[in-house]
Amino acid sequence: MVETILSKKLGDQNKAEQSPYQLEATETSMEALIKSYTPKSINTGGMFILQLRHDKIVGTPITQVCQYDMGSQSCPLSDCPCGHYKGNGNSGGTSASTNAASSQSATDDSNQAQSQQTKPEPLKVPALIYQTRREMDDYDARDMHHGDLSEPILKEEFGLTDVSAKVNAYTGKKFPPLTTNPYGMYQPPGDEGFLSLKERSDIMFDEFRDLSAVYSWHGAYKSVIDEMITHMQQNSGEPFSSSLLDQALKEQIENDDSDSSSLKAIQTTLETYIDWKKHYYPSSNKSEIHKSVSRSVLPRFDDLKDYTNGLVICVHDIWSAQITLQSLEINNNQFTATIHYRVQDHFGLDDGDLTPTVKLQRLFRIWFTLQRWECFNFKPFITEMNATITISGKH
């Protein structure tokens, strides 16, 4: 059996290795011995367990095992519960009371430490309260691929043989407009020659803008799609932002009065989990906001009006989002909170976007070919929108 006895910290190794029976009881208290000795494991007979006060030895809890042989020897520890200290005639009763006090002190300290660990803390703001599983700034998404398809694949697997109405996207042969002669008869077009990739793409981007007017012909946001198509034509791949899109996002969030509103979910959760007595939101309940938003519907542009004001083609749905609680003020039984939405979408097409119905529209055939054909290789980009909204609630 391994036991522990107090041995000297410095020097006198011979005495440090003596058995407990040979230690002279010149020090009459355990506290005094601790000042000069540190624990040492040795082998001896007998077994009495002493739980030392955990704050006595370098602040580290240590269990001492006093292996005193119940013979005629005197225990060197005056307050050891074995009761065999004979130096000053102390009885076991005194030792037991001392040990009980030590045990109670250790229990109180343990309870205090546990209380400090579980003590609720207010949520520090600004705090990220929600983030989608799909990452922000995701350039590896499928709809961000570009220049990855050959002409045979585009024609055979996607059926993209008739792309532009004005030029053969693959050969560069320009299609002249149908004309009539002065006598009203149809006049066959002449040979317009072949255009370079740059000339072809310029023509197709003009078509792209013209055709997008079907989805964007009224309202404050109708001009945004032209800006986004031009941004793609510049081929920088840099993120795109617009104050008009920020405004559209804020209006969508604020005007969503459905039960699935993400903003309403945040408001309800704050009202439910705020500690109204202490006037703060506990950090331990931060996950409750994430849960409630996960059950809601994030902002998207798919109302009937969005199919004609340009938003359905500019953004439609979102790819990823972050929601931040920027501030929270609680006064009496009311709160005011500032919520920031940062959302992203991708202005690009993946394979699944080109459904049979979508492929019937020349606009999307042009878009897909400009982006995905290896010879054009125009980069899609991230569209970022931001909106800051103030909400309030009460207990």
Mean pLDDT, rounded, of the chain = 80
The answer on 203 and 96 residing in a single domain is no
Exposure of 147 in the CB half-sphere (CA atoms within 13 A) = 7
Of the listed ranges 26-30, 201-205, 218-222, 237-241, the one predicted with least confidence: 26-30
pLDDT tens for 188-235 read 555 567 899 999 999 999 999 999 999 999 999 999 999 999 999 999
The answer on 294 and 254 residing in a single domain is yes
In this prediction, residue 48 carries a pLDDT of 38
pLDDT exceeds cutoff 80 at 76: no
Mean pLDDT, residues 237-259: 97
Domain boundary among 59, 83, 116: 116
**Residue 25 belongs to some domain of the structure:** yes
In this prediction, residue 32 carries a pLDDT of 55
Domain boundary among 77, 92, 116: 116
In this prediction, residue 193 carries a pLDDT of 76
In this prediction, residue 10 carries a pLDDT of 38
**Residue 169 belongs to some domain of the structure:** yes
Where residue 177 falls among pLDDT bands split at 50, 70, 90?
confident
Start-to-end CA distance of the chain, whole Å, equals 62
Comparing 378 with 93, which gets the higher pLDDT? 378
d(CA 366, CA 380): 14
Q: Range of 282's domain?
A: 127-394
pLDDT exceeds cutoff 60 at 121: yes
pLDDT tens for 270-326 read 999 999 999 999 999 999 999 999 999 999 999 999 999 999 999 988 999 999 999
Where residue 21 falls among pLDDT bands split at 50, 70, 90?
very low
Q: Which of 344, 346, 349, 345 is nearest to 370 (CA)?
A: 349
Bridge-partner residues for 275, per DSSP? Answer: 280
**Residue 187 belongs to some domain of the structure:** yes
The answer on 277 and 385 residing in a single domain is yes
Q: How many domains does the chain have?
A: 2
d(CA 77, CA 57): 16
pLDDT exceeds cutoff 60 at 79: no
pTM equals 0.68
In this prediction, residue 77 carries a pLDDT of 56
Using the structure block, give the residue that is written with the tokens 């910290």: 9
CA distances (Å), origin 151, targets 148, 156, 369, 373, 380: 10, 9, 9, 7, 19
d(CA 195, CA 199): 6
The answer on 334 and 226 residing in a single domain is yes
Where residue 110 falls among pLDDT bands split at 50, 70, 90?
low
Report the amino acid identity of residue 232.
M
Residues 6+ apart with CB under 8 A from 92: 81, 82, 83, 84
**Residue 289 belongs to some domain of the structure:** yes
**Residue 121 belongs to some domain of the structure:** no
The answer on 111 and 218 residing in a single domain is no
**Residue 122 belongs to some domain of the structure:** no
In this prediction, residue 119 carries a pLDDT of 72
pLDDT exceeds cutoff 60 at 377: yes
Whether the bond into 126 is cis, omega within 30 of 0: yes
